[in-house]
Structure 1
Amino acid sequence: MDEQNRNLILATVLSFLVILGWFVLFPPEKQTQTNDTLPAQETVQADGVATTPMAADGADPAGSVDAGAEPVADAPRVDIDTPRLTGSISLLGGRIDDLSLKDYRVTLDPESEIVRVLAPAGTEGAYYALYGWAAGAGVSPDRVPGPKTEWALESGETLGVDTPVTLSWDNGAGLTFRRTIAVDEDYMFTITQSVENASGETAGLAPYGIIARHGEPADRKKFFILHEGVVRMSDGELEEIDYDDMPDFDVNANEGARAEVTQVTEGGWIGFTDHFWMSTLIPEPGTAFKSVAKYDERRNIFQTEAVMPTQTVADGASISVTTQLFAGAKEWETIRNYERGGIAGFIDSIDWGWFFFLTKPIFWLLHNINQLIGNMGWSIIGLTLIIKAVLFPLAYKSYVSMAKMKELQPQMEKLKEQAGDDRQKLQQGMMELYKKEKVNPAAGCLPILLQIPIFFSLYKVIFVTIELRHAPWFGPFQDLSAPDPTTLLNLFGLLPVAAPEPGSIMALVFIGILPLLLGISMWLQQKLNPAPTDPTQQMIFAWMPWIFMFMLGGFASGLVVYWIANNTITFTQQYLIMRSQGYKPDVFGNIKSSFSRKKKTAGK
């Protein structure tokens, strides 16, 4: 086995083993009809309880209160209507608890339901945001607004981009609370809470915001590559907490509830992140607050809280506190604009993973190419061209080295004859030959090895970013984040027949046209060189393209598009560079000889 073939096989096998391990650890998700929305609004017997949070000074004066087991229809509502949002606010607790996204649908069917982000208590999968004040010194816990407070609509009719609404509540003991809610053209709500004190006494109050989720999301994917659960930023430090870890919190915040508390001094945010959607509490930048992730095991409620420090309100005085609530789609450009507006580290709410130093620039480049082209499929191909251009100097050295190795074949064969069975003498002779001719036998491995982290990073980008969700290319390829929908059963997209479910035996047997092109492109790339004479090498080379073809058939079609484009460009580069170095790859001859060997084998 010559050194060049050994290195090429080692690199190929290594790539295969790594990708196979990735495939086993992170199997492609199964596509379902409801995997991007909460269940439909249906009244159920929900024992919904959220606990009023601990004030920032450590007190927990209000205890537990009912978060709203009443049916949603019993509470009056204020409509939400913006170019991108629709829903309503319940005057019971002043909750933002009914919110859907006008720009996103559950499936590719244009008539399917729009995606719902928040749902009221009293419905299956309840998920909502509420605000209030924790009682401090001089205030009775039943004299502060909480989850069951019946607010009055003081001003405004429908919450829109330029039409905020104000809610009010008089506690009957001299404290008047107001809550003004505004919303921008995207997904950011601004909540200003104020209180006027005419009680004749000084009052201590701690404003807070809560996001409560009754049970885990029904569409949670539980996919190792994707984080779903609590995400928060605390003074520049990002933390991700899975739902499965929350029942193990150490701090017993209230009876039946366990919490993990972080004191934020300069700024941060906390909330829940799903695959494509997110809800986040955001105190004003530079504000200290208590960041709490909590799980109530009695009622199976997950909760995040942002609790501001207790404030003293003198008789005749008033105070106000402004916070923000993000509730919507995790669009890169939208979130980046919010970060530039002062929300530190907000772009990291997108799950970039361990290879963030690759996934971030790769997505940035892909996004900007798509801004120019307007088609994500062609943008992926454009991204591939740019990546190959960046790596071209290394590829050039590699392919030049491979061409020189071919030229050295007669001398290497002569060294083998001279060394006989003396392996040490052979190795010394080959190393001297490499040094003399300035050839690096390992150079051929580098382009293949460099593709591994790029491949993983692009897989992460395609899987986690909403910009790839339902992104069309052409013809049957209308969702590049999903596996290839074509198959022999539907004549590769010509017939209106659904492809087999990803991950099923049928899907593995009846693969789509993109995996087929992937296998062919890998096979042609092999034919730039004659097949090795060693039978073991021949077997590895013969099976490798088709194993990859079936293995990657269940991956996102956008990733397969990248791999096909990469193979095609690599083939072209290697062919032209090797010809420029005097070695003329006989592609058709190598193909012909491979079939000839098969015929001879069959004849035996």
Structure 2
Amino acid sequence: MDSQNKNLLIATVLSFIVITAWLVLFPPADPAPVEPEEVAETLAPGAVNEDGSAAVPPAATGTPDAPGDTAPAATPADTQSALAASPRIAIDTPKLSGSVALLGGRIDDLHLNDYNVSLDADSDTVTLLKPAGEPEAYYTLYGWAPAGDLDAAEVPNANTEWTLEEGETLTPTTPITLVWQSPGGLTFRRTISIDADYMFTVAQSVENGTETAIRLAPYSQIVRHGEPSDLKGFFILHEGVIRQTEAELAEIDYKDVREFEQDGREGAPAETVQANGEGWVGFTDHYWETLIIPENGQTFTSVVKYLPSANIYQTDVRLPVMDVAAGATATIDTRLFAGAKEWDVIRDYQNEGGVYRLLDSIDWGMFFFLTKPIFAVLHWLHGLIGNMGWAIIALTFIMKAILFPLAYRSYVSMAKMKELQPQMEEIRKKAGDDRMKVQQEMMELYKKEKVNPASGCLPVLLQIPIWFSLYKVVFVTLELRHQPWLGWIRDLSAPDPSSILNLFGLLPNAAPDPTSWFYFFSLGILPILLGISMWLQQKLNPAPADATQAMIMNWMPWVFMFMLGRFASGLVLYWITNNTLTFIQQYTIMRSHGAKPDIFGNIISSFKKKPEPEKK
């Protein structure tokens, strides 16, 4: 078997093994959704007993325990009833809608105006945050933890009834201010503002109207009741807690959060990290995320925890204790990103808004040095062309052009190796069983003819990280979600919806669910074109002389056709384009070096039955 076929066989077999192992070892997870009766309300970070009620530890002295540990006890049912009856302040921006509850001053009702759950005309917009009491509740809380001699009743908690002091609706031009006065004469205010995209700013202030100094510490938290029901569970995508602590980025799966060590309180596994002025923490989903972002330069403590008695995940930002003199006022600002992971918006928050490394909240993967520029070019092409499918095709042309010099050298090297086959066979005959002599004379031949036998593998090796990076871009980034190409391809982030079973859309019945095993046997138009493009690429060269190798080569395109049919349409479109360009490049280079590929003859010979060897 010549080196070209050998390299191709090795590459295809290795790819087949990798993809098969992936599908077997990492199947999509099917987590059970959280039922309403299983949801328990948190009153403050970590303050939940086994029965779901708030814990009431002794009053804090010196420095605070966990924020809000001194909250008054209340049952989840009482909290949920009060929350349902609580007055709300509407949120109305170009990209967000929802409301803020006066109970606790919670941001707990948020919808993404630009995104729908599905492509159906009557589909609802995506809901990001939900109040306690609803399935998969997901919300933010803010408050103060008492320190020194300050009594817990003097600070607001998750059940505090705030009063609207200023504003009527939260919009990009009209912030709202909530106010609450403690029994002892402290006045707390919470001013919430929002921009035209997804960034909230929460300014918490305390005015000390007493005659003595007070000590207290502000905190912010994101609370999530159970894992999301639409958790993908793919190893290529991180879903769960994400935390930037100075230069360190931590991606923590829900399973890992549950396995944290105890932080000193019964049933509260937690991980605590100190940050000296740069970072953020929160939850990330496939396309959306919610992050608490302290002020630049602000020292803070980042806490990630799980409350098993209530099946609640939390991320906290705890700020240092503040000393507020009598008659003085202290204010602290904290930002909250709650929205879609739009690359250009997040980039502006990082570059212009000063949010440290916010672009890393998008899961770029281990080949980030490839995925970031690949996506930047794809994003630019999409803006230029206006269609993501054609942008993917244009990106493939650019990538092939960049790799063409290397591919040219590879094809030339393989052509020279093919020309040297007679001399190589002569060396083998003369040397007989002396392998050392064969290798020495082969190396002398390569040196004399200036041929590198390994150069034919370089394009294949380079294609592996590029292929993986493009798959990562197609799968992870929001910009491909619900993006059409042409005709029946309405969502490039989803598999080809056409099927043999519905005559590729001619019949009204839909294709099988992509998650069902039956879908494996249902092929769309793009997967079929992928198989054909791989098969034609093979036919540039005659089949290997060995019958077993020839059989593997003949079956490989069709095996890949079935396996890759479940992948995103955008990725399959890239493979088809890449295979077509590779075919054209290789055919042109072979012809320029005197070779005349007999494609039609190779196709005919692949259907002929090989003669059985004569018996001696």
- TM-score tier, shorter chain, comes to over 0.9
Query: Residue 142 of structure 1 is aligned with which of 150, 153, 160?
Result: 153
Q: Which residue of 2 aligns with 1:170?
A: 181
- Once the two structures are overlaid, the 10-residue window that deviates more, 13-22 or 159-168, is 13-22
CA distance in 2, matches of 1:548, 1:366: 26
Change (3 A) 1:166 1:56: farther
Deviations 1:453-510, CA, capped at 9 Å, x for gaps: 1111111111111111111111111111111111111222333331112143332212
What TM-score results when the alignment is normalised by the length of structure 1?
Answer: 0.93
Verify: 1:555 aligned to 2:536, yes or no: no
Query: Residue 227 of structure 2 is aligned with which of 191, 195, 216?
Result: 216
Q: Give yes or no for contact 1:7–1:442 (8 Å, CA) kept in 2.
A: no
Q: Compute the displacement of 1:421 (Å).
A: 5.1
Q: Structure 2 counterpart of 1:229, which letter?
A: G
Query: Residue 525 of structure 1 is aligned with which of 537, 544, 548?
Result: 537
Q: Compute the displacement of 1:419 (Å).
A: 4.2
Once the two structures are superposed, the pairs formed by residues 394-405 of structure 1 within 5 Å of their partners are 394-405=406-417
Query: Residue 512 of structure 2 is aligned with which of 490, 500, 504?
Result: 500
Q: Compute the displacement of 1:144 (Å).
A: 0.4
Q: Which residue of 2 aligns with 1:109?
A: 120
Q: Which residue of 2 aligns with 1:130?
A: 141
CA distance in 2, matches of 1:229, 1:296: 15
Q: Give yes or no for contact 2:100–2:109 (8 Å, CA) kept in 1.
A: yes
Provide the secondary structure at the position in 2 that maps to 1:362: helix
Gaps of 5+ in 1: none
Once the two structures are superposed, the pairs formed by residues 141-290 of structure 1 within 5 Å of their partners are 141-290=152-301
Q: Compute the displacement of 1:512 (Å).
A: 1.0
Q: Give yes or no for contact 2:62–2:148 (8 Å, CA) kept in 1.
A: no
Q: Compute the displacement of 1:126 (Å).
A: 1.0
Deviations 1:156-191, CA, capped at 9 Å, x for gaps: 111011011110001121101111111101110011
Q: Structure 1 counterpart of 2:290, which letter?
A: S
CA distance in 2, matches of 1:595, 1:255: 70
CA distance in 2, matches of 1:136, 1:150: 22
Q: Compute the displacement of 1:299 (Å).
A: 1.4
CA distance in 2, matches of 1:164, 1:71: 25
Q: Which residue of 2 aligns with 1:339?
A: 350
CA distance in 1, matches of 2:600, 2:510: 37
Q: Which residue of 2 aligns with 1:47?
A: 40
Q: Give yes or no for contact 1:210–1:303 (8 Å, CA) kept in 2.
A: yes
CA distance in 2, matches of 1:589, 1:515: 25
Q: Give yes or no for contact 1:45–1:122 (8 Å, CA) kept in 2.
A: no
Q: Structure 2 counterpart of 1:123, which letter?
A: E
Q: Give yes or no for contact 1:28–1:555 (8 Å, CA) kept in 2.
A: no
Change (3 A) 1:182 1:349: same
CA distance in 1, matches of 2:449, 2:102: 82
What TM-score results when the alignment is normalised by the length of structure 2?
Answer: 0.91
Q: Which residue of 1 aligns with 2:384?
A: 372
Q: Give yes or no for contact 1:7–1:445 (8 Å, CA) kept in 2.
A: yes
Give the alignment's Cα RMSD to 1 decimal: 2.4
Q: Which residue of 2 aligns with 1:300?
A: 311
Q: Give yes or no for contact 1:197–1:315 (8 Å, CA) kept in 2.
A: yes
Q: Compute the displacement of 1:403 (Å).
A: 1.6
Q: Structure 1 counterpart of 2:270, which letter?
A: A
Verify: 1:592 aligned to 2:609, yes or no: no
- Provide the aligned length of Structure 1 versus Structure 2: 594
Q: Give yes or no for contact 1:196–1:318 (8 Å, CA) kept in 2.
A: yes
Q: Give yes or no for contact 1:552–1:560 (8 Å, CA) kept in 2.
A: yes
Q: Which residue of 1 aligns with 2:69?
A: 63
Q: Compute the displacement of 1:29 (Å).
A: 8.0
Q: Compute the displacement of 1:417 (Å).
A: 4.2
- Once the two structures are overlaid, the 10-residue window that deviates more, 47-56 or 19-28, is 47-56
Verify: 1:92 aligned to 2:98, yes or no: no
Q: Give yes or no for contact 2:554–2:606 (8 Å, CA) kept in 1.
A: no
CA distance in 2, matches of 1:440, 1:586: 26
Q: Give yes or no for contact 2:364–2:472 (8 Å, CA) kept in 1.
A: yes
Verify: 1:476 aligned to 2:476, yes or no: no
Q: Structure 1 counterpart of 2:422, which letter?
A: P
Q: Structure 2 counterpart of 1:49, which letter?
A: T
Verify: 1:24 aligned to 2:24, yes or no: yes
Provide the secondary structure at the position in 2 that maps to 1:86: strand
CA distance in 2, matches of 1:219, 1:147: 28
Q: Give yes or no for contact 1:44–1:123 (8 Å, CA) kept in 2.
A: no
Q: Give yes or no for contact 2:89–2:168 (8 Å, CA) kept in 1.
A: yes
Q: Give yes or no for contact 2:172–2:195 (8 Å, CA) kept in 1.
A: yes
Q: Compute the displacement of 1:256 (Å).
A: 2.6
Provide the secondary structure at the position in 2 that maps to 1:302: strand
Q: Structure 2 counterpart of 1:466, which letter?
A: L
Q: Give yes or no for contact 1:407–1:583 (8 Å, CA) kept in 2.
A: no
Gaps of 5+ in 2: 47-59
Q: Which residue of 2 aligns with 1:461?
A: 473
Provide the secondary structure at the position in 2 that maps to 1:554: coil
Q: Compute the displacement of 1:251 (Å).
A: 3.9
Q: Which residue of 2 aligns with 1:14?
A: 14
Change (3 A) 1:558 1:551: same
Query: Residue 326 of structure 1 is aligned with which of 337, 358, 361?
Result: 337
Verify: 1:433 aligned to 2:445, yes or no: yes
- Once the two structures are overlaid, the 10-residue window that deviates more, 457-466 or 432-441, is 432-441
Deviations 1:297-352, CA, capped at 9 Å, x for gaps: 22121111111111111111111111111111111111111111101011111111
Query: Residue 385 of structure 1 is aligned with which of 378, 390, 397?
Result: 397
Provide the secondary structure at the position in 1 that maps to 2:365: coil
Q: Compute the displacement of 1:44 (Å).
A: 5.4
Q: Give yes or no for contact 2:202–2:334 (8 Å, CA) kept in 1.
A: yes
Change (3 A) 1:25 1:353: farther
Q: Give yes or no for contact 1:483–1:502 (8 Å, CA) kept in 2.
A: yes
Once the two structures are superposed, the pairs formed by residues 398-417 of structure 1 within 5 Å of their partners are 398-417=410-429
Q: Compute the displacement of 1:448 (Å).
A: 1.7
Change (3 A) 1:150 1:427: same
Provide the secondary structure at the position in 1 that maps to 2:227: coil
Q: Give yes or no for contact 2:276–2:299 (8 Å, CA) kept in 1.
A: yes
Deviations 1:111-134, CA, capped at 9 Å, x for gaps: 101100000012121110111111
Change (3 A) 1:597 1:441: farther
Q: Structure 2 counterpart of 1:245, which letter?
A: D
Provide the secondary structure at the position in 2 that maps to 1:391: helix
Q: Give yes or no for contact 1:101–1:114 (8 Å, CA) kept in 2.
A: yes
Q: Give yes or no for contact 1:231–1:271 (8 Å, CA) kept in 2.
A: yes
Q: Compute the displacement of 1:46 (Å).
A: 4.3
Q: Compute the displacement of 1:369 (Å).
A: 1.2
Deviations 1:530-555, CA, capped at 9 Å, x for gaps: 11111122112111111111111111
Q: Compute the displacement of 1:435 (Å).
A: 2.0
CA distance in 2, matches of 1:545, 1:371: 34
Query: Residue 521 of structure 2 is aligned with which of 509, 515, 527?
Result: 509
Q: Give yes or no for contact 1:193–1:321 (8 Å, CA) kept in 2.
A: yes
Q: Give yes or no for contact 1:28–1:554 (8 Å, CA) kept in 2.
A: no
CA distance in 1, matches of 2:8, 2:448: 22
